Structure 1
Amino acid sequence: MFVGVLLVLTWLVLLIRYPAKALPISLAALLGLGLVGLWVAWMDTRENQQLARLELRLTYQPQTCPADRPLSVTLKNGNPVPLTELQWQVAAYAPGATANLSQDLYSAPRYRGPGVLQPGASWQECVPLPSLRPGYRPQTLDFRAERVQGSFSG
């Protein structure tokens, strides 16, 4: 932080003392920073739009999934480009409630997607349940994917 303050003060002194030389350089630097900021904002918006086109559903299905992995994950890529990487956290909610009932422990399972998923393709997998707070049964809860992060090629 000290270095940043020192750079700003130095820039102000140069701008006041040598305005004819420092002003064009300052404007060029400001334009460059603005372009970088716009590019980062565009990339972030693009990634959020691509993640919004994913259809990720979590359902508790102990009948069709193994006992140690009773949570069924269905993913469909609705993007025009392949999905290359996906990860998320599972949250559990009682119907009508807003409190997450899964415990966010260090030993909680890590949830990852299939790797490369082509446009329009689907993927289905059974995964383990997150650790739930005591007193809640998984068959009475709604499971949702939160903190979804992914990357796409193209």
Structure 2
Amino acid sequence: MIVGVFLLIAWLVLLLKYPAKALPVSLAALCALGIVAAVVAWQQTRLDHQLAGLDISLNVDTRQCPATTPLFVTVRNTQDAPLITLSWRTAAYFPGDRNDLAANDYSRPQYSAPHAIPPGEAWTTCLPVPPLRDGYRAETLQYRAEALEGSFD
């Protein structure tokens, strides 16, 4: 923080003392910073669009999954690029409600796909249900993957 303040003061002194030389350099640096910011924003928007295009289904299914891991998860890669990494947080909702019923504590698990998923392919597995607030049963709730983080090739 102190280094940043020192650099800002030094830049202002140079700009006031030598405006003919400091102004063009400052404008060039500002343009370069703007270009870098635009590229980063474009890449993040592209990644967010790709992650939003994934088909993720989470359902309690005691016929296909054991009792210890009853949450049947299907992740289908509908994008043109291979999905390299994916992690998410599972939220639980009562049908028609907008309150997340999963316990919001530090023990709440973060789920992830163990391997890359090629375009057009799907990955399925059984996972444990996140800890729920008192008074709710897992089979009466709807589940959604939220806070998606991932990367594509």
* TM-score range for the pair, normalised by the shorter chain length: over 0.9
TM-score by length of 2: 0.95
CA contact (8 A) 1:65 1:72 kept: yes
**Aligned-partner Cα distance in 2 for 1:103–1:22:** 55
Deviation at 1:7, TM superposition (A): 1.4
Deviation at 1:104, TM superposition (A): 3.1
Runs of 4+ in 1 over 6 A off after TM superposition: none
Unaligned 5+ residue runs, structure 1?
none
Amino acid corresponding to residue 76 of structure 1 in structure 2:
R
Query: How is 1:96-111 mapped onto 2 (pairs within 5 angstroms)?
Result: 96-111=96-111
**Aligned-partner Cα distance in 1 for 2:110–2:5:** 41
CA contact (8 A) 2:90 2:110 kept: no
**Aligned-partner Cα distance in 2 for 1:35–1:54:** 29
Unaligned 5+ residue runs, structure 2?
none
Deviation at 1:5, TM superposition (A): 2.0
**Aligned-partner Cα distance in 2 for 1:17–1:115:** 58
Give the structure 2 partner of residue 15 of structure 1: 15
Q: Secondary structure at the match of 2:49?
A: helix
TM-score by length of 1: 0.94
Aligned-residue sequence identity (percent) comes to 50
CA contact (8 A) 1:82 1:116 kept: yes
Deviation at 1:114, TM superposition (A): 3.8
Backbone CA RMSD of aligned residues = 1.2
Count of residues in correspondence between the two structures = 153
